[in-house]
Amino acid sequence: MAVLTANAIRTAMQSGEIVIRPFRLRQLNPNSVNLTLGKTLLKYDTTHLLDLRIEPTTIPIEIPPEGYVLEPNVLYLGHTNEVTHTNVYAPFIEGRSSIGRMGISVHITAGFGDIGFNGTWTLEITVVHPVRIYADVEICQVAFHTVEGTTTLKYEGKYNNQTGPRPSSIWKEFQAGRYDVTAE
């Protein structure tokens, strides 16, 4: 896989092969585009055990203008302001180095996107020490990888067309009978 350069990203955007909205030229990097943090966070209600088979409950948090302090040992679900979409390339997000150097991780395992994904990105934010964050800061970057071969299979999963942060929906897979697991 190869990563698109800034010029290739701009060309793909002009042809409609990549959509990023809103798009600001100042967020374009040599081979990625910075994405900004939305104002809403979710955290799981951990007064009870999280169970993959049960829809999790979340607590919404709005980031005020003076910022919000993230605490260690808490998973915060954030989101990008930008919607991205491509039916041609495989998108991948990573944290910006300036954000990582503050002890902030923007994803645990879900940095890879599928061809056809359309929506805002849910960020799995954790910190190693308390950190004050602010909405609209450039928190991560999206890069676009070329793929080998053709596919008629496009992502049409449960997170497509999402806006804002979304908690895990793996419980839907259990409800649909995808896993043969009985309650103990």
Q: Report the chain (184 residues): mean pLDDT per 10 consecutive residues.
A: 94 97 97 98 90 94 98 96 95 96 92 88 97 98 92 72 83 88 61
Provide the pLDDT for residue 181. Answer: 72
Q: Is there a contact between 38 and 3 (Cβ–Cβ < 8 Å)?
A: no
Fold of 6-175: Deoxyuridine 5'-Triphosphate Nucleotidohydrolase; Chain A (2.70.40)
Catalytic (active site) residue 156: no
pLDDT of residue 176: 86
Q: What are the residue boundaries of the structural domains of the chain, listed by start?
A: 6-175
pLDDT for res 182:
66
Contact between 33 and 141 (Cβ < 8 Å): yes
pLDDT at 108: 87
Place of tokens 């993959």: 52
Q: Helix or strand or coil: residue 1?
A: coil
Q: Which of 17, 71, 82, 124 is catalytic?
A: 124
pTM assigned to the model: 0.90
